[in-house]
Structure 1
Amino acid sequence: MQDVLRPVLVIGGTIAVTLIVGWIIDRALHAATTRKPQNRLPELLRRCQLPLQVLMGSGAVQLTYDLSELNTPQDRVILSVLATLTTASAAWLAIRVAGALAENSLATYASRTEDVARVRQFRTQLAMLRRIVTTVLALVAAAVAMLIVFPGMRALGASLLASAGVIGIIAGVAAQSMLGNLFAGLQIAFGDSVKIGDTVVVEGEWGTVEEISLAFLTVRIWDDRRLTMPISYFNNQPYENWSKGGHEITGTVFFHLDHAAPVKEMRAHLHEFLLGRKDWDGRAWGLLITDTTPTTIEVRASMSAQNADDVWTVRCAVREEMINWLRENHPYAFPRVATSPAAVPPSSGTPEG
């Protein structure tokens, strides 16, 4: 009976103590959040409770395992599993802590500046750094599990380290595309060519940059489709970034009309219509004849807006309003299609032959 009771008391008591310690830490973080609500870091760190609990539990059981005097043939396997769990939970905890610090840094930076472009750039950099840190920690945890936890893998690890140069060359050649995307991602994150939240036109599609990972960039298109592309594309191919230098943008609407179209009246009506629109930012507007053909003229209406969404809305509204206004007040302004017989030039009077 004692052979069963002692392991249960030791291991169960160890786990119970770690649960109590984890609960105390969580309550302390909650109290810190209550005292200073403007400081989001304690609340963000509460997300680390689960990996912290696993880390403390597996580590404490390892330390007290000998006291339990379990003495089973699987002791080595159990200790290896516990060590692996401790290593994995430590990496998990580090990733959660890094995420909490990054999110808190972004919130603090956003509260101190009104420059939206700088906030988006900082957010892009933090997102890229978080992915790099996550990848590195996962690789380190896997290496520790292989080389330290499992003694049989140490010889393999030593031989791998001895041939690291050759393996590095082979891996570099085999993974050129992946490495190219990785370095392209770093260049984009710490450059200023494209950021999360930018409005871009890629491959003829207009959308907003939604996510930048180590290898791919995702654009949310205006109809909620997602366009995923290798991140190296944005270093090798031209694309439009409508947010570069600011969100303000000028939109245009073209009309093909008859030569008799009342351009001055159109200009006055366009201005009157824009004054009643909230999506027109008031910076600029205009209406000009930009081209002529033997049968029509090309009239361009331009209007400015705060962002790409507003300029799309105001362009559609201007197009609809001007067409309706012309149809109701100046129907003769639309292009005409000649239906009468073509005029024949008069005879020169010179006799044939």
Structure 2
Amino acid sequence: MWQDWLEIGIAVAIAIVGALLLAWIVTWVFRLMARRGSWPTVLVQRGRRPFRVMILVISLWIAINISLPPDTEWRDGINQAFTIAIIGASAWLVGALVYFATDLALGAYRIDVPDNRVARRIRTQMLILRRLAVALLVVIAIGAALLTFPSVRTVGASLLASAGIASVVAGLAAQSVLANLFAGIQLVFSEAIRVDDVLVVEGEWGRVGEITLSYVVLNIWDDRRLVLPCTYFTTTPFENWTRKGSELLGAIELDLDWRVSPTRMRTHLQHVLAGTDLWDGRASVLQVTDATGGMVRVRILVTAKDSPTLFDLRCIVRESMVSWVQQNTPNALPTQRLLITDPNAVRDAVEDPTPTSDGLFTGSSEAEERANEFTQAVPIIRPGDEDEADSAMATDETLKSS
């Protein structure tokens, strides 16, 4: 009995040494290849561990099968365990190869350059495809491992018979999950959003940091993270500032006095833009867009290569223009004007509102005659004639009573 265990131990030791030797030889070959290119180094980094594990498992399986007696009771269990281990190691190795392939594709398209629209599209699609491939590998590996059990194979036939009902129940139970899954795939391949796109969502400005099959992570400018489900971007309007390119046009508005000189401001604007690298040279406009409310509104339009650069450029132009107005044309600063009148004249007008000029129906005998024609002889009482009107009304009342 102990001789059998000794043979098994010797076989296992030989298998381990052989597996390590083979792994070392393969690594050495790829390091020699790395002198002519960088991709072998990336491949070794990604696939070294899963390759060693798979080689080790295969070597141990072969060694144990050779050294075990043919009539061993637990041979079937050992074979099943090694089969499951090989399935897991193979899935791990294939996943590492998927990561290696996507890393090569992502390395060929850089997103840290000004015009990176194509690179952002490729990066977004590659990341989603990698996640889909890894998820599919996990599902296949788990299914293959379960199929090694005879009882599971028996149950699998009955499950296939009721697959229609099961799919309907699963679809209803995971409706929101499936909706986000398909929304994520739709976002990626329709290019509605891409990694590193600049978005304005829910009043927040930020860059797309990550797109998964269920949610999107938006990196806000103040280092916050806004996590939104994929269905949000398929059902709600949002702003994408880098849909076709990263170049943007921005506005700076100033409310100034009427004594401002737009011509001199335009000359100073060209001087400011010529002294900064933030301006991309595409457009620079200064216009007076409004002149109401006692002030004129000056609008300046400038362009930059991307949104962060545009924000800094707008701040620089605004600050330079404010300093220039303060130092060179202080009369152009915003001014509030008040009309001050003689307080005595205002008080007299309030206390004696008698009109000083003749009107259409009052002020002269001819006007009173015209008034009688339009008012059907209703007397027009001028200011100061209240006493005479009262006595006339009393006389009329006496005559009526008598």
Structure 1 length-normalised TM:
0.89
Bigger shift: residues 246-255 or 82-91: 82-91
User: AA paired with 1:104?
Assistant: L
Aligned residue number for residue 23 of structure 2: 22
**Aligned positions of 1:17-166 closer than 5 A:** 17-34=18-35, 36-37=36-37, 40-46=38-44, 47-69=46-68, 77-108=77-108, 116-148=116-148, 150-166=149-165
Aligned to 2:251, the other structure's residue is in SS state strand
Say whether 1:13 aligns with 2:14. Answer: yes
The Cα of 1:78 is off from its aligned counterpart by 4.5
Q: Is the 8 A contact 2:115 2:245 kept in 1?
A: no
The Cα of 1:74 is off from its aligned counterpart by 6.2
Say whether 1:319 aligns with 2:331. Answer: no
The one-character-per-residue Cα deviations of 1:74-133 (angstroms, maximum 9, x if unpaired) are 65554443332221111111111011112223334669xx96211221111111110100
Q: Is the 8 A contact 2:253 2:300 kept in 1?
A: yes
Aligned residue number for residue 400 of structure 2: none
The one-character-per-residue Cα deviations of 1:139-171 (angstroms, maximum 9, x if unpaired) are 1111111122x3332233333332222111111
Q: Is the 8 A contact 1:146 1:157 kept in 2?
A: no
User: AA paired with 1:44?
Assistant: V
Aligned residue number for residue 377 of structure 2: none
Q: 1:271 to 1:109 in 2, by over 3 A?
A: closer
Q: Is the 8 A contact 2:325 2:332 kept in 1?
A: yes
Distance 1:283 1:274 in 2: 11
Aligned residue number for residue 331 of structure 1: 330
Aligned residue number for residue 2 of structure 1: 3
Aligned residue number for residue 227 of structure 1: 226
The Cα of 1:237 is off from its aligned counterpart by 1.6
Aligned residue number for residue 187 of structure 1: 186
Aligned residue number for residue 177 of structure 1: 176
Distance 1:339 1:78 in 2: 99
Distance 1:267 1:313 in 2: 20
Q: Is the 8 A contact 2:88 2:141 kept in 1?
A: yes
The Cα of 1:137 is off from its aligned counterpart by 0.4
Q: Is the 8 A contact 2:258 2:294 kept in 1?
A: yes
Bigger shift: residues 287-296 or 77-86: 77-86
Q: Is the 8 A contact 1:58 1:83 kept in 2?
A: no
Aligned residue number for residue 278 of structure 2: 279
Between the two proteins, what is the percent identity of the paired residues? 34
Number of positions where the alignment pairs a residue of Structure 1 with one of Structure 2: 347
Q: Which runs of 5+ in 2 are unaligned?
A: 350-354, 358-381, 385-402
User: AA paired with 1:170?
Assistant: V
Bigger shift: residues 102-111 or 61-70: 102-111
Distance 2:219 2:212 in 1: 14
User: AA paired with 1:236?
Assistant: T
Aligned to 2:206, the other structure's residue is in SS state strand
Q: Is the 8 A contact 1:251 1:303 kept in 2?
A: yes
The one-character-per-residue Cα deviations of 1:43-101 (angstroms, maximum 9, x if unpaired) are 22212010111112122322332333389876555444333222111111111101111
Q: Is the 8 A contact 1:206 1:221 kept in 2?
A: yes
User: AA paired with 2:58?
Assistant: G
The one-character-per-residue Cα deviations of 1:11-58 (angstroms, maximum 9, x if unpaired) are 121122112111111111111111x22xx3322221201011111212
The Cα of 1:276 is off from its aligned counterpart by 0.5
Distance 2:163 2:178 in 1: 17
Distance 1:78 1:337 in 2: 93
Q: Is the 8 A contact 2:8 2:63 kept in 1?
A: no
The Cα of 1:196 is off from its aligned counterpart by 1.2
Larger relative contact order (Cα-Cα within 8 Å, sequence gap ≥ 6) = 1
Aligned to 2:260, the other structure's residue is in SS state coil
Q: Which runs of 5+ in 1 are unaligned?
A: none
Distance 1:326 1:80 in 2: 84
User: AA paired with 1:121?
Assistant: R
Aligned residue number for residue 267 of structure 1: 266
Q: 1:330 to 1:88 in 2, by over 3 A?
A: same
Bigger shift: residues 6-15 or 91-100: 6-15
Distance 1:143 1:257 in 2: 73
Which protein shows a greater Rg? Answer: 2
Aligned to 2:147, the other structure's residue is in SS state helix
The Cα of 1:2 is off from its aligned counterpart by 2.6
Q: 1:96 to 1:352 in 2, by over 3 A?
A: farther
Distance 2:96 2:109 in 1: 20
Aligned residue number for residue 258 of structure 1: 257
Structure 2 length-normalised TM:
0.79
The Cα of 1:216 is off from its aligned counterpart by 1.2
